[in-house]
Structure 1
Amino acid sequence: MKLAKIIVDIPLMQTDKPFTYEVPSKWENLIQVGMRVHVPFGRSNRLLQGFVVGLSDDLGNLENLKPISDLLDFEPVLNSEQLLLADQMRHRVFSYKISLLKAMLPSLLNSKYDKEFKPLPSLSDEERQTYFTKDKPLLASDLDDEIAVKMAELVAKQKVEQIYVAKDKQTIKTQKCYRVNLEILESLEIAKRAKKRLEMSLWLQANPESGALKDLQHQYSRDVIAYFESSGALEVFEVEVSRSDAYFDEVGESPFLELNDQQEEVVATIVSEIGHAQKPFLLEGVTGSGKTEVYLHIIEQVLKKGKTAIVLVPEISLTPQMTNRFIARFGKQVAIMHSGLSDGEKFDEWKKIKRGEAKVVVGARSAIFAPLENIGAIIIDEEHEASYKQESNPRYHARDVALLRADYHRAVLVLGSATPSIESRARASRDVYYFLQLTKRANPNAKIPQVTLLDFRDYLGQQEASNFTPPLLDAIANRLEKKEQVVLMLNRRGFSSFVMCRDCGFVDGCPNCDISLTLHMDTRSMNCHYCGFQKDIPRTCPNCQSPSIRYYGTGTQKAFDELSDIFPQARILRMDVDTTRKKGAHQKILDTFGNGGADILLGTQMIAKGLDFPNVTLVGVLNADTSLNLPDFRSSERTFQLLTQVAGRAGRADKPGQVYIQTYNPEHYAIQLAKSQDYEAFYNYEMSIRRQLGYPPYYFTVGLTLSHSSEEVAIKKAYEVMGQLRQGLSEQVKLLGPTPKPIARTHNLYHYQILVKYRFEDHLEETLNAILDWTQETENKAVRLTIDHEPQNMM
């Protein structure tokens, strides 16, 4: 009898180890490690999806094993490297094994369930010892049914569809095709009066190759086609088609560009390490220095060596302009993976990779799990971006996963940025990373743009529009006159930040979150950007009923309206979350602007990265302070990076570029150094501050957040966790908190956080796992706990 070790689809401490099942004899020669199965679980034998993580022969000491109910795959969906990766990540990412395994697959391959989940009963220490000792195999029949159906609080409220398996019609898209049997076709005796049959017979004889049935149906009726099908002259069959082919069919080929001396040296240095790389490369290149072209040349060499490559780009930069450059060079060897694709398109791209048809994967954060074999290079563009850290379970950082995969394949790992994260730059200075630089723009005629700071305080009372100072308006008018293009960034969407009563000072806030509602004029509504709450715009103050209610602050919608009034002749495009909700809207806006169909592109930070428009000569930052004063130790770093990135959109071709940055804090070091585009000076200044305050890269950090609908319970549980940390960790560890999060309530939950700062700590993993275990006790089950290793967002 063959036995299978299976991780079941329940993210709990008790189910974080494999359970043993019997493999029915009919599947003994089919089942493989990495396949998905359905297994009966608990006393009610409820069917759950699971992953086979091990196979063995019966050792004769196990009785009453349950058999696997169904084998869901014809071949493994997870390879041995991915299973190892989940084991490695489990030590650093405090999520259960099943969550890590599911994160590696397209959503169509992960089961969802339509039952409400029962609460988890508490287990005594004795019961735990009985069921979960290391030297005893876990048996599915051992666990009480209530444990079997319990899932993590975070996913318990999901409303769900059916279980998808690889042979589902909803998973795989097919197309009806036909093939011609010439021998039968030519033997048919067709009456002369059947003109359409005669016409189709002649057409098929002249075009005997196979084709899509829909093309035949455009020419001939169903009855005519049915005649040939019933006679055997035409065979109709289904073939699997890719839903993502359209992305590739529209892109033509393009040649490789000639590299300058700096680029050539960088490519040669990196390529020489393929196959035996010892440590990552940090590539610091000024905006416009041609980092993407360097990546393309590296990948060309990787493919010549018979290897594969992964390129990660922040979701915000995954524009068609970026992805098309890879498709134009490498054609259908490229697979694209990002959130703009439908679930079906993502599944088709995943299959293309799995089958070995794709050699280059270009995608956002989750593309790091692409099931490529024989990887030669992993490239992370804009490596400083916080979006590479997943903010929901499992909270992994793509860079950490890339390090593990690069080590497994001896692949080169390239971290590229004009403004590297402080942590990465510090590792390069300590020789943990190789350090490479590109100090000049790839186009010899393109110069770093001139940056001017505009102090809002100097223009109070002189402004025609609240978002624009007179010098910026003059510069826009000048560019419009010259038929040049303008990019304007305001990192806040909506019409205004909040609505306030002038009489009583009441600010209209979200009932579910401690945050003011944002006014949206296009939908005539007040919206919460956290939980999605929406209501009509109040005509009078909800508190004192005064009509003296006014709009304060600003957003892209209001800035758009002001621009339209001042420059009625200008063609203006607005690009933010609200205008890019529809599929393809992002691409349509950029195509219109790139083709000269608009004069001004106004948007949030999504316009700051990866765009290359040669006719853009003016960039304006409407308010540089939006991210500067956030209660986050990285706020200065994020401000500097964003300003440097958006400034880099100007003057990328032969025309000189100019940048205007409007601010109330012109003397702040982040803004001053963004003006001079001096990353190295910013790095040195910021490091001195981090050293004084004891923040990364001088310390590692772990953030713990406890959430509950009752603030009193959230505080109480946070202090209980604080006690466990003090008891489990050494005295060298610094513990901050518990304190309310800066936005202390969202989605009707109160949030309290604890920050752990440490340099070396042997007991960290066991202590944090013990706290995970503690959340599953009955009295703690309503508390939502998140453990975030190296949190990127302190808000």
Structure 2
Amino acid sequence: MIVKVVIDIPAKQVNRSFDYAVPKDWESAIKLGSRVQVPFGNMKRTGFVVDITDETEFNGKLKPIHSIMDYDVFLNEELIELSDYLAEYLQCFRISVLQAMLPSLLKAKYDAIVQIHDPVQFSEKVGSWYQNETSIDRKVLEERISPNAISQLKKENIISIEYQVINQTTQKTKTMIKTNLNKDQLMNALEKTSQRSFKQRAILEYFINNQAIESIEKSTLMTELEVSNATINSAIDKEWITTFKEMIYRDPLKDVSFQTNSSKTLLAEQQNAYDLISQSVDNKQADTYLIEGVTGSGKTEIYLQLMDRALQQGKSALLLVPEISLTPQMVERVVSRFQTGIAVLHSGLSITEKYDEWQRIIKGEAKIVVGARSSIFAPLENIGIIIIDEEHETTYKQSDNPRYHARDVARWRSEYHDAPLILGSATPSLESRARAQVGNYHLIHLENRVNQMPMPPVDIIDMTQVELRETANELSPELIEKIQDRLDKKEQVVLLQNRRGYASYLLCRECGFIMQCPRCDISLTYHKFDNQMKCHYCDYHEPLPTQCPSCQSPHIRTHGIGTQKVAETLEEIFPEAKVTRMDNDTTRRKGQHQKLLDEFSSGQSNILLGTQMIAKGLDFENVTLVGVINADTALNLPDFRASERTFQLLTQVSGRTGRGRLAGEVVIQTYNPEHYVIQFAKTHDYENFFRFEMKRRHLTNYPPYYFTTLLTVSSKHQGRASQLAYDLKAQLYNPELERKEQLYIIGPNRNNISKINNYYYFNLLLKYKDKTTIQRQLDDILNNTQQKATQGVYVNINHEPQYFS
């Protein structure tokens, strides 16, 4: 038996598989996707088994694998095949993709412990050396018996392999009690036990009367029979009972209660969407559907009923949401509908919680997965439907290597399983909508809200006029009046300010000095809560100065506004109101998203203030006013998607109101009231915005008319980074392709923020019609720049980047 192993070294020279021999008594323990340790050069390296065969092209004698790292397989055959595709498609090293697919726990340092579930059978299998422990180190067991034997013990559930992050317990267990005596033996023991030993007799009587129960948790037995630990130990010494450890999963939903939520009757538009997509579920067709539905049109109910249809056919379902802030409400809806068999995967879980959820998926105990971007790699079998909610969100694109987009991975898995893929959004990305326009996706419109209420009216406030007639204030008199009206009516308000912190920057009024991050080319943001100036890129921070660091003037003031400052203003103007603030600062601790949303949902607070994390997916019936503090925050950024993102954000946040029986209203404050984005957002007019923006993209040769790839060169040495960027441009330049308008190279340009954490960044933007025209050159760049990395100059290849900074 021969295995092909991908070694965990992300480098050109080893970006392929290597053949290793498998000893005979290891063969049944090795599976596709297993992690193994192998001799590589004069070292031992970790690797992934990506193929099992009996043949090799290697002429010499193959080295045997050194050890097996896992007796569980975390990557199935599908994911191994997917890793090969993504490595080529993204032009990155295959090991980087394989590592990204693993649960986080396996990327940490950990110990492997063998938990013994059945000491009697275990002793019979392994021999006299076993001393009746409940757990032993895996290395000790591997010294005594072969990997094949260990694999068989695991298969028979006599043992399990559990992983413990060093200095941190990762597996939760409970102590179980069972008896190995039959009823006659228990009765005989009872006759020999003194009548005065009523506690010990109670234990014997329990097992006599409950023969059908195989085992019971120790704490439960002690509570039911009111017996002490000493009594239990005495019964163990007399060999009436035995104890063993049983693993229990950490449940991220254990503290949350859900009411049963049955299917709702679909409206005509919803029913039409359901009927179309269900045909693809039934016929196992890998069709892609784009549901373009206004906010509140009932997309989630369609998702749930389609998931139910897949489950009824014995299939599994995968549902992605873009942000952790959306996960609690979506999870609540899914669990309320299906109750069991649901795994949750998102960044708010601990490493061990994620691992436990991963285990439930592998063992088939969870048929539904709900989670954020990385959930697209969940090792589900027999997928019947894949759904990406709010498909336009940029968080579906991974910013670090490997830079995959969840939508592209979903399409591959959809074709692998012959399962439909659903993309849902009120404001689809221009790329997705353009694909639907030409028939690559099936386009489904939902133009009406399920509550039959109209889209809320939008009032545009020209802040240039407010500034002329009022003292500088982030809230216009019109918005203040409307907030007060809602508070008087006991209704709720959602306010969007897409910038966290208290103030954008600190300015000296005498010399004009602005406090900059010493590591990054950006100003520090003032956070009043802890009186610190902070960098949102490298996390540098220092105390707020009392005088200008440059000229020592005391006339140093904060400028710009963040969520902290707005919250303070709200508390001053509306002292009777309770404000819930949601941004990255208030949601860092685990469970804070859920806690803050519950606080607002239950009516404990009147105003929900936050960054873009509150703009989408949330559903609160009592919200009748949405206010956008500054609609221009991202409108004028040097990014061709700035207009699209602003329109999506304004439309999404507008949809948070009027979702119940009460009518809603939206107030948008802006310094650019005539801007086409503001005007289209005012009328909720996605169709005309799409047409207008597509014309601009066509004129400027941007997606969806061209593909884009961003090459980023970074180094602590500015000159080296700049020189390599120019060398790469010369290497890629093709006058014939440029003449035919098949390839444009923009740059090299400095990054929007030219220095981050002491690294200088230079960008090359490639715009092209056909990827095959530059495929070879990019492969060469990936391989040839390895030598540059040893000199501290790094090159990243990012296909279809979502940001250019």
- 2:63 aligned with 1:76: no
Deviation at 1:704, TM superposition (A): 0.5
- Indicate the SS of the match to 1:453: strand
Do structure 1's residue 594 and structure 2's residue 601 form an aligned pair?
A: yes
Local SS of the residue matching 1:29: helix
2:11 is the counterpart of 1:19? no
Within the candidate set 53, 56, 71, 2:53 is matched to 56
Task: Tell me if the contact between 2:788 and 2:794 (Cα under 8 Å) persists in the aligned partners.
Answer: no
> Once structures 1 and 2 are overlaid, which stretch shifts more, 101-110 or 622-631?
101-110
Give the match for residue 496 of structure 1: 503
Aligned to 1:273, what secondary structure does the other structure show?
A: helix
Compared CA separation, residues 590 and 650, structure 1 to 2 (3 A)? same
Counterpart Cα distance in 1 of 2:110 and 2:233: 42
Q: What does 1:71-150 correspond to in 2, within 5 Å?
A: 71-110=68-107
Counterpart residue number, 1:742:
752
Aligned-residue sequence identity (percent) comes to: 47
**Cα pair distance change 1:577/1:672, threshold 3 Å:** same
The amino acid that maps onto 1:740 is R
Partner residue of 2:580 out of 566, 573, 581: 573
Deviation at 1:472, TM superposition (A): 0.3
Task: Identify the residue that residue 372 of structure 2 maps to in structure 1.
Answer: 364
Q: Could you tell me how far apart the structure 2 residues matched to 1:235 and 1:359 are?
A: 34
> Is the contact between residue 252 and residue 349 of structure 2 (CA under 8 Å) also seen in structure 1?
no
C-alpha change, 1:383 and 1:641, in structure 2 (3 Å) is: same
Q: Is the 8 A contact 1:487 1:616 kept in 2?
A: yes
* TM-aligned CA deviation for residue 543 of structure 1: 0.5
Q: CA deviation at 1:212?
A: 2.2
1:696 aligns with 2:706: no
Unaligned runs of 5+ in 1: 115-164
Pick closer, same or farther for the CA change 1:332–1:679 going to 2, 3 Å: same
Tell whether the 8 Å contact from 2:286 to 2:417 is kept in structure 1 after alignment.
no
Residues 56-103 of structure 1: CA deviation (Å, up to 9, x unaligned): 225596324321111123353222211211121122212210111121
Q: Tell me which residue corresponds to 1:429.
A: 437
2:794 matched to 1:784? yes
Cross-structure match for 2:641: 634
Alpha-carbon shift at residue 225 of structure 1 (Å): 1.6
Distance 1:257 1:546, change over 3 A: same
8 A contact 1:317–1:609 mirrored in 2: no
Structure 2 residue identity aligned to 1:502: R
Instruction: Look up the match of 2:3.
Output: 4
- Classify the secondary structure of the residue corresponding to 1:788: strand
Q: Secondary structure at the match of 1:28?
A: helix
By how many angstroms is 1:235 displaced?
2.1
Local SS of the residue matching 1:577: coil
Give 3-state SS (helix, strand or coil) of 1:471's partner.
helix
Deviation at 1:192? 4.9
Q: What whole-Å deviation, never above 9, does each CA across 1:552-586 have from its counterpart, x for those lacking one?
A: 00110111111101111111111111111111111
Aligned twin of 2:723? 716
2:248 to 219, 238, 241: 241
Matches of 1:76 and 1:488, distance apart in 2: 47
1:272 correspondence with 2:279: yes
Question: Is 1:212 matched with 2:217?
Answer: yes
Tell me how many residue pairs correspond in the alignment: 741
Give SS of 1:651's match: coil
Give yes or no for contact 1:166–1:172 (8 Å, CA) kept in 2: no
Q: CA offset at residue 172 of structure 1?
A: 3.7
Does the CA contact (< 8 Å) of 1:729 and 1:767 recur in 2?
Answer: no
8 Å CA contact 1:617–1:655 kept in 2: the answer is: yes
Q: How does 1:441-460 map to 2 (within 5 A)?
A: 441-444=449-452, 446-460=453-467
CA contact (8 A) 1:318 1:363 kept: no
List alignment gaps of at least 5 residues for structure 2: 112-159
* 2:669 partner SS: strand
State the distance in 1 between where 2:265 and 2:734 align.
61
Q: Is the 1:91–1:765 contact (alpha carbons within 8 Å) kept by the matching residues of 2?
A: no
Q: What CA distance in whole angstroms lies between the structure 2 residues aligned with 1:247 and 1:767? A: 52
Native 8 Å contact 1:730 1:761 kept in 2: no
- Deviation per residue, 1:26-46 (Å, 9 max, x gap): 21233222211111212x2x2
Return the alpha-carbon distance in structure 2 between the equivalents of residues 779 and 768 of structure 1: 16
* Conserved 8 A contact 1:670-1:682: yes
Distance 1:248 1:481, change over 3 A: closer
Given that residues 501 and 550 in structure 1 are in contact (C-alpha distance below 8 angstroms), is that contact kept between their aligned partners in structure 2?
A: yes
Judging changes above 3 Å, is the alpha-carbon distance between structure 1 residues 79 and 199 closer, same or farther for their aligned structure 2 residues?
Answer: closer
Label 1:371 to 1:728 Cα distance change in 2 as closer, same or farther (>3 A). farther
- Measured after TM superposition, the shift of residue 318 of structure 1 is 3.0
> Given the superposition, is the C-alpha separation of residues 632 and 238 from structure 1 closer, same or farther in structure 2, using an over 3 Å criterion?
same
Residue of structure 1 in register with 2:623 after alignment: 616
Q: 1:113 to 1:516 in 2, by over 3 A?
A: farther
2:36 corresponds to: 37
Shift of 1:494: 0.6
Distance in 1 (alpha carbons) for counterparts of 2:52 and 2:286: 34
1:440-497 Cα distance to aligned partner (Å, 9 max, x none): 00112x3211110111111115547721000000001000000000111100111100
Contact in 2 for aligned 1:361/1:370 (Cα 8 Å): yes
Q: In the alignment, which of 282, 287, 291 is matched to residue 295 of structure 2?
A: 287
Structure 1 residue matching 2:796: 3-state secondary structure: strand
Residue in structure 1 matched with residue 562 of structure 2 by the alignment: 555
* Secondary structure of the structure 2 residue equivalent to 1:85: helix
* Counterpart secondary structure, 1:665: coil
SS at structure 2 position matched to 1:283: strand
Distance 1:206 1:526, change over 3 A: farther
What TM-score results when the alignment is normalised by the length of structure 1?
0.90
